[in-house]
Amino acid sequence: MMKTKTLMAALLASSLLTTPAVMAQADDEQLVVGALQFLTNFHPLIQVNNTKRNLITLSLRPITAFDSSGEVVCVLCEEVPTIENGLAEIVDNGDGTEGMRVSLTIMEGASWGDGTPVTSDDIVFTHQVATDENIGFSNYNPWTRASEIEVVDDRTVIIHLPEVLQNFNAWDQILPAHLERPIYEANGDLESYVRQTLYNREPTNPGLWNGSYILTDYQIGTRITFEPNPYWPGMVPDIERIIMSYRDNNSALMQNVLSGEIQLVPVSPGGISFSQMLDLRNQAPDRYNYVVEDGNNLERIALNLDNPILADLNVRKALLHGIDRQAITGALFGGLQPVANGLHSQASPFYTTGIATYAYDPEAAKTLLAEAGWTPGPDGICVNDNGDRLSFEFVTTAGNATREQIALVIQSQLREICVETNNVFAGLQEYNGDYARRRQFTGMIMSSIEFSLGSSPNIALGTSAIPSEENSWVGNNFSGYSSEAMDAAINTLEGSLERADRIAGWAEVQRIFAEDLPMLPLYFYTSAWVAPVNLQLEASSFDPEMTWAEEWVLN
Residue 140 and residue 54: Cα distance in Å, rounded? 13
Contact 152, 78 (CB under 8 A): no
CATH number of the domain to which 131 belongs: 3.90.76.10
* 99, β-bridge pairs: 91
Beta-carbon contacts of 457 under 8 Å, excluding residues fewer than 6 positions away, are 343, 451, 490, 493, 506, 509, 513
Cα–Cα distances in Å, from 41 out to 202, 220, 555?
Answer: 12, 11, 34
- Residues 6 or more apart whose Cβ sits within 8 Å of residue 2: none
326 and 269 co-located in one domain? no
In terms of Cβ atoms closer than 10 Å to its own Cβ (0-12, 13-18, 19+), residue 18 is exposed
Decide which of 156, 175, 194 is a domain's last residue: 175
- The Cα 468–Cα 447 span in angstroms is 19
In a domain, 395, yes or no: yes
Residue where one domain finishes, among candidates 153, 175, 197 = 175
- Domain assignment of residue 126, yes or no: yes
Coil, strand or helix: which one is 121?
A: helix
- Give domain status of residue 474, yes or no: no
Using DSSP, state whether 150 is helix, strand or coil.
strand
SS3 of 338-397: the string is CECCCCCCCCCCCCCCCCCCCCCCHHHHHHHHHHCCCEECCCCCEECCCCCECEEEEEEE
Give yes or no: residues 256 and 392 share one domain. no
C-alpha span between 98 and 371 (Å, rounded):
48
* 171 and 189 together in one domain: no
Residue 504 in domain: no
Q: Cα–Cα distance between 518 and 512 in angstroms, integer?
A: 10
Domain boundary residue, one of 140, 157, 175 = 175
Tell me, yes or no, whether 320 and 447 share the same domain: yes
Judge whether 528 and 293 are in contact, CB under 8 Å.
yes
> Are 313 and 442 within one domain?
yes
User: CA–CA separation, 224 vs 213, rounded Å?
Assistant: 12
Q: Is residue 21 part of a domain?
A: no
Could you give the CA distance from residue 406 to residue 420 in angstroms, rounded to a whole number?
Answer: 15
Name, in order, each residue with C-beta under 8 angstroms of 46's C-beta and a sequence gap of 6 or more. 135, 136, 137, 138, 190, 194
- What integer pLDDT is reported at residue 28 of this predicted model? 61
What string of DSSP letters covers 429-463?
HHIIIIIIIT---SSEEEEEEE--SSS-THHHHSG
Domain that holds residue 233: 32-60+180-294+527-554
User: What is the number of structural domains in the chain?
Assistant: 3
Same domain, 280 and 329: no
Contact 193, 186 (CB under 8 A): no
Helix axes 325-333, 2-13, angle to 10 degrees: 20
CB count within 10 Å of CB 502 equals 19
Nearest to 112 by CA among 201, 212, 4, 252: 212
Residue 131 lies in a domain: yes
CATH code of 437's domain: 3.10.105.10
30, 34, 224, 268, 529 from 220: Cα distances, Å: 20, 15, 8, 22, 24
| pLDDT for residue 27 | 54
- Is 308 in the same domain as 444? yes
In a domain, 272, yes or no: yes
- How big, in percent rounded to 5, are the helix, strand and coil portions of the chain? 30, 20, 45
Residues 6+ apart with CB under 8 A from 80: 64, 72, 73, 74, 87, 169
Nearest to 522 by CA among 346, 320, 267, 335: 320
Distance (Å, rounded) from C-alpha 250 to C-alpha 255?
9
Q: What are phi and psi of 491, to 5 degrees?
A: -60, -40
Are 19 and 282 spatial neighbours (Cβ–Cβ below 8 Å)? no
Question: Residues 290, 303: one domain?
Answer: no
138 in Cβ contact with 81 (< 8 Å): no
Verify that 443 and 545 share a domain, yes or no.
no
CATH code for position 222: 3.40.190.10
Residue 14 lies in a domain: no
Residues 380 and 347 in one domain: yes
Quote the CA–CA distance of 415 and 411 in Å, as a whole number: 6
Q: Tell me: do 384 and 432 sit in the same domain.
A: yes
Residue 10 pLDDT:
40
Cβ(141)–Cβ(159) under 8 Å?
A: no
In 3D, which of 436, 468, 495, 460 has the Cα closest to residue 100?
495
Give the whole-angstrom CA distance, residue 529 versus residue 550.
Answer: 18
Collect all residues with Cβ–Cβ distance below 8 Å to 10 and sequence separation of at least 6.
Answer: none
Q: What is the DSSP letter of 170?
A: -
What's the CA gap between 451 and 140, in Å, rounded?
A: 9
pLDDT of residue 11: 39
Give me the tens of pLDDT residue by residue for the chain, a chain 555 residues long: 434 443 443 433 333 333 333 333 445 689 999 998 888 888 988 877 777 888 889 999 999 998 877 788 999 999 999 999 999 999 999 999 999 999 999 999 999 999 999 999 999 999 999 999 888 777 678 899 999 999 999 999 999 999 999 889 999 999 999 999 999 999 988 889 999 999 999 999 999 999 999 999 999 999 999 999 999 999 999 999 999 999 988 889 999 999 999 999 988 777 888 888 988 999 889 999 998 888 888 999 999 999 999 999 999 999 999 999 999 999 888 888 899 999 999 888 889 999 999 999 999 999 999 999 999 999 999 999 999 999 999 999 888 878 899 999 999 999 999 999 999 999 877 888 788 888 999 999 999 888 877 778 998 999 999 988 888 787 789 999 999 999 999 999 988 888 889 899 999 999 999 999 999 999 998 878 899 999 887 666 677 888 999 999 988
Contact 43, 85 (CB under 8 A): no
Q: What are phi and psi of 43, to 5 degrees?
A: -65, 130
Same domain flag for 370 and 270:
no
User: DSSP letter string over 301-324?
Assistant: EEE-TTSTTTTSHHHHHHHHHTS-
